[in-house]
Structure 1
Amino acid sequence: MNIKLSFLSALATGAILFACSSAGSKTTLPNDETLQPIQLFNGEDINDWTPKIRLHEVGENYANTFRVEDGLLKVRYDGYDDFNKQYGHLAYNTPYSYYLLRVEYRFVDEQVQGGEGWAWRNSGAMLHGQDPNTMLKEQDFPISIEGQFLGGNGKDERTTSNLCTPGTNVVIDGTLFTPHCTSSTSKTYHGDEWVTADFLVLGDSLIQHILEGEVVLEYNKPQIGGGNVEHYDPAQKTDGKLLDQGFIYLQSESHPIDFRKVELYDLAPYKDNKAKLDEIIQKLL
């Protein structure tokens, strides 16, 4: 899908019109209220977040993997001798259901020793994720929907804001989609440039991945199911259960990455008022 400035998109069984423009820190709503973004990353610390790194207990920030320096939330591996599949995830402590998430990221430096080839310049934002406190010590990924971030090598095409599904499935064009990953229609972002990725998440009805005002991927009915997650608690994996809310995670997959903005517009108060919700989304995008 390649739609600029305005686009028509399916929302549950209806349709809504979105007008896309640059969003500021304050949005004027139809009744002159203002909707302020929640700064999930406050620029100072990660006290509102919980790390979960494979082979380590919930809450242990092994080797200071997730850190705040120079006003940036950084993922670093200077304390690792070898990555050893120690996939890390940093969960914001409040779950959300209806929201617009905005993440600004850039890949930097070199991949740590032991990182797998597919994980070069690879990270992501996990949506509708399980509670980090329910993840087992050796679990590799949270059961969640992943908005995958990928960086380019300077010459080849490599899309970003893709979809991966650890322990989940989605519906695309009316059909249950069971492969682990699918690519978006985005352009490639090379080098260390900053990229702004938006995710419009409306419970279990609609999720859109948006870059530069363009919807690059869209799907419905996120749900638990399938594989691609290991060493989880079976009680947390009820296949077929729709995911209408959950925790947001940032990933550590062996390549250093910086985040300078992680903010969220909470749309839950408007979910039962479709007309107002549509107008707010138009303003935000």
Structure 2
Amino acid sequence: MSEIRYDGRVAIVTGAGLGLGRCHAMALAARGARVVVNDLGGSVDGTGTGSAAEDVANEIRAAGGEAISHTANVTRADEVADMVKQAMDSWGRVDVLVNNAGILRDKSFAKMDIADFQAVVDVHLMGSVVCTKAVWDIMREQNYGRIAMTSSSSGLYGNFGQSNYGAAKMAVVGFMNTLHLEGQKYDIRVNCLAPTAATRMTEGLLPPAALDLMKPETVSTGLVYLVSEDGPSRTILCAGAGGFAATKIYETDGIYLPPEELTPENVAAQFDAIKDPAAQKEFQAGGEQTIKFLTKAAAHHGVKLG
């Protein structure tokens, strides 16, 4: 297989001052990408500012790469627009967007303030929306784009104390699914990365021996493929400690209840059949579910569709 390169490509990586984002930016730069290193420079909970973005840009330049830094808050459209403008002014295009910026404000739902729920959703979900919107028309016009959202096992499967984080991380999967459909004709490919790594966000949660195995670089290896020219689209790539897997959302074939049997009791009675995975499918668009249920109903009633 030929080497994956990014020569002539321009990548924006948000939350790239430390941890996974820094590794993503360094890995893309090492393969020839010109990188906009974005980071507000704040703490894990999103407060404060700092010089983290410029520090990483300096590292890239010291290694012979090309990079600029920007401290845009990803939730603020005017700041993000300025960041994208600087990328365009410097290099004339944007090929890759890695939506990595995030914060944590963990508490059980009973103890969580709505403000902390909103803040996490704003950064993870709306930050991804704002940054993607800022580059979408550019990618459409150049007929090329690669976008990575950052999901999480906390969203895909749940994690105690992270209702805000989990909700946002599952939301970007839905965002990806629709952008995949809307971007196809322009060769814009959209994927999700679901990482687990030793970063500021996981300090204190795992023993040192485990953290030693979970270096962020192991995750960035998968990211570099996801946003490459021949990368996939509409894929949730899970990565950590050198392991890689894909998460898929399936729907069972289910059952049909005719009008005379349409009761909650019959749903309960056939719940095992409803959940039976034997004929489950991975749908490519939401309308496929509607077609499936209409087909079952039409067959019962002898109605021809279309």
TM-score w.r.t. length of structure 1:
0.29
Q: Which has the higher strand share?
A: 1
Q: Which has the higher helix share?
A: 2
TM-score w.r.t. length of structure 2:
0.28
Whose RCO is larger (CA < 8 A, sep 6+)? 1
